[in-house]
Amino acid sequence: MTRLFAIFFAAIVLATPTLAERSKEAAAELLRQEKSVLASAGQSHLTSLVTPVSRKAAIYNSSWLNAQNAASGGAQWECLAEALYFEARGETIKGQFAVAEVIMNRVKSGRFPDSVCGVINQGTGKKYQCQFTYTCDGIPERIREPKAWSRVGKVARAILDGRAPMNLTNGATHYHTTAVKPRWSRTYTKTASIGVHVFYRHTWRVSSNS
């Protein structure tokens, strides 16, 4: 009888999973559940949740900008860097990217010149009748702040190289500082407010002023 009980007990022990085996099974089940959730979420949804946020955070801060090599380039880079220097050198990095975005939106719009230099110098020649005031205010353009020039140069380089998301101003083609309120701001569509600048998208069918 005792021998029979021992055989029966041994069979039960052998048939019962060990603690280690149960842990492995639980871990495997958890992994299967995680894979199922990730698969149901879809790759595009996951990308939209993670990538744009991390990319924005990486671009619009001084740590990222300071880590970039000194910027240089041809005429288009120089025009953009100069515009950022005279129009937005006192702005935050995000604000400088926003101003650069407006210039690039104009280049792409079909209603403005199709180059950076063309957009920036549009109307230059007659005092205060240009698109960017510094190009027609009669004051010589002199770079007196090397650090500010270095920073806007890097912003211009990132924009021209396509390393900026281009989604700060929601397609804005115009902007003004908070210190003024031009007539056209009453008819254009306001799209964003960043730092000391307010951004607008031209409502072409409503107003012909630019």
Residue 191 or residue 203, greater confidence: 191
Is the pTM above the cut of 0.85?
no
Please report where in the chains the tokens 């998208």 appear, as a residue: 201
Is the pLDDT assigned to residue 11 strictly greater than 90? no
Residue 37 has pLDDT above 80, yes or no: no
Q: Greater confidence, 110 or 100?
A: 100
pLDDT digits (tens, 9 = 90+) for 50-103: 434 345 556 788 999 999 999 999 999 999 999 999 999 999 999 999 999 999
**What is the distance between the alpha carbons of residues 180 and 90, in angstroms, rounded to a whole number?**
17
Percentage of the chain with pLDDT > 70? 67
DSSP, res 128? T
Which of 189 and 208 is assigned the larger pLDDT? 189
> In the chain, what are the domain boundaries?
57-168
Give the whole-angstrom CA distance, residue 175 versus residue 200.
6
Average pLDDT for the chain: 79
